[in-house]
Amino acid sequence: MNLVIRGNNLVITDALRDFIKKKVGRLAKYFEGEAPNEGHVTLSVEKDEHKVEVTIPFPGVFVRAEESSDDMYASVDLVMEKLERQIRKYKTKVNRKFRYDGSLRAQFMEGVSQADQVSATLEQEQDQKEEIGEIVRFKRFSLKPMDTEEAILQMELLGHNFFVFTNAATNQVNVIYKRRDGKYGLIEPEE
């Protein structure tokens, strides 16, 4: 797997780079021989706080986590534990759903062919100075048709409060979001 490792306010040593590659490489064991092509790791240091953010597009799913501590190596260990928990949770849900409905498993395997497209358009950032109302980050991704249950799972894996997807039932772009009460909302376009 090709890892793009970027440091903010930090020089990345060879030892740190090797440590990260070794740790992230362990995640491939969860995905039946279909390892992702590329992963993004961002390391930053601010006021004795070492922060690690990892985003990896696995076949059919993105995993993302961030952690911080007073030591960079400890932060890497913490973020890897978080990613492994997310992947195990996802795999459990996929396997449980597969027992009851084989279609999700077929969609998961179909996602393998789309993984290259998704990873190529994962993230395009432009550094601009931050002002009110100014767009400071751009992201592009393909909208894979999925049901609302899978969209919720993707949103939870990414750790976001919302997720944009193409609804497989209506073939329209929808937004699923997490409400303050812990439940979910769905935004659909009017016809």
Q: What is the rounded CA–CA span in Å between residue 110 and residue 99?
A: 18
pLDDT given at position 115: 43
DSSP 8-class letter at 13: P
pLDDT given at position 130: 39
pLDDT tens digits in sequence order for the chain, 191 residues long: 788 899 988 889 999 999 998 988 887 777 666 666 788 899 999 888 999 999 888 766 778 888 999 999 999 999 999 988 888 887 777 666 666 555 544 554 455 444 433 433 333 333 333 345 677 777 777 788 888 888 888 888 888 888 899 998 888 999 999 988 888 999 998 87
Q: Which residues lie closer than 8 Å to 144 by C-beta, 6 or more apart?
A: 60, 111, 114, 118, 165, 166
The closest of 107, 113, 121, 108 to 38, measured between CA atoms, is 121
* Domains delineated in the chain: 2-141 (3.30.160.100), 143-191 (3.30.505.50)
Distances (CA, A) of 159 to 43, 76, 169: 18, 17, 25
Q: Which residues lie closer than 8 Å to 166 by C-beta, 6 or more apart?
A: 143, 144, 145, 146, 172, 173, 174
Q: How far is CA 95 from the centre of its chain?
A: 20
pLDDT given at position 126: 35
